Structure 1
């Protein structure tokens, strides 16, 4: 286990960011049928977990959840979340087309606040796959992934914890996999 990884979780209000993290880390999910949300609206929150990568190494991951809104014009990602982030987890509601449009504004805001040396890695999570998703939302999500060079797209639901684990193991493995080749030659060439 090396350094602590920094994952920033973003998405519109009510798309399920808190539910995803609570189920992933604490197995904290109840299938309540009330119209009241299980978790209150988040402004900012931090979680810490150990995730085992596909290589079998446990990595310490710090999740920074940023509360969203439903208004695209009010997207604001503070620079301190962007600088030094290892990856961004973009969450949208598969039943709400507006939540996917919100992520487009989020991604632009992240790119505006990044340092030149930062390499941005994005994971897209379509939450609530257990509900009737709009085919238009699925179509736009596929276009978003291709256009914005998203690392991976997962359809998840908090009712299926394994779908969440698979997504976060994939991003943790991607972040911690060392490059296969060095950019520097190790052989000293003789000058002629």
Structure 2
């Protein structure tokens, strides 16, 4: 079983944070992942948290997901959740070039708060079903991902395209990052 969801003891826990500009579909992606439901009404989020039990690559995991405010007036809250997050979904809308250009700001702020050159993140171009309204090409998304040294995927909360895959891939990136020698506690010979 590659991926599915169930409860179980001894599971790994991950704190995932969904970031991006206002109106890009962060809540729609999160709710589609958690509840398999597409939210049609736009109600700007201040901060919502969700939990989901999953099996990803045959390993049980509990995902604590923080869905954050995209509006700039809530920017002061950003550093707090950036401190506690273990992985970040950087979400923009393929129908909104401004949200795509904002991704740099989010990525730089995360790296500054974490005091790291790299950190577990993936780039998600949401609203991929709205091809006729597209302002950002798939190639541009891939190019930005290469610059940021992250994985890129396009998703659609509306038609449930790559929704589970985005969250699961972020967990894989965190697991890989946790294996890095730089992140291991050194053995202290006492």
TM-score of the alignment, normalized to the shorter chain, above 0.5: yes
Q: 1:24 aligns with which of 28, 33, 39?
A: 33
**Residues 24 and 164 in structure 1, CA contact (< 8 A), matched pair in contact too:** yes
Q: Alpha-carbon deviations, 1:96-147, whole Å to 9, x = none?
A: 100111111111221222245x951111111111102536443432221111
Query: Which consecutive unaligned segments of at least 5 residues does structure 2 have?
Result: 1-9, 185-190
Max radius of gyration: which structure? 1
What corresponds to 1:40 in structure 2? 43
Question: What secondary structure, in the 3-state scheme, does the structure 1 residue paired with 2:37 have?
Answer: coil
CA distance in 2, matches of 1:126, 1:62: 22
Q: Alpha-carbon deviations, 1:81-106, whole Å to 9, x = none?
A: 12242211011101110011111111
CA change 1:5–1:100 in 2 (3 A) is: same
Question: What secondary structure, in the 3-state scheme, does the structure 1 residue paired with 2:38 have?
Answer: coil
Find runs of 4+ consecutive structure 1 residues off by over 4 angstroms.
Answer: 73-77, 180-183
What corresponds to 1:13 in structure 2? 22
CA distance in 2, matches of 1:119, 1:147: 12
- Structure 2 matches for 1:99-114, cutoff 5 A? 99-114=99-114
Matched, 1:50 2:53: yes
CA distance in 1, matches of 2:34, 2:24: 18
CA distance in 2, matches of 1:88, 1:53: 17
CA distance in 1, matches of 2:84, 2:137: 31
Question: TM-score, structure 2 length as denominator?
Answer: 0.78
What corresponds to 1:125 in structure 2? 124
**Residues 55 and 61 in structure 2, CA contact (< 8 A), matched pair in contact too:** yes
CA change 1:159–1:77 in 2 (3 A) is: same
Normalized per residue, which structure has more helix? Answer: 2
Question: What secondary structure, in the 3-state scheme, does the structure 1 residue paired with 2:179 have?
Answer: coil
What corresponds to 1:168 in structure 2? 167
**Residues 44 and 67 in structure 1, CA contact (< 8 A), matched pair in contact too:** yes
Moved more, 135-144 or 157-166: 135-144
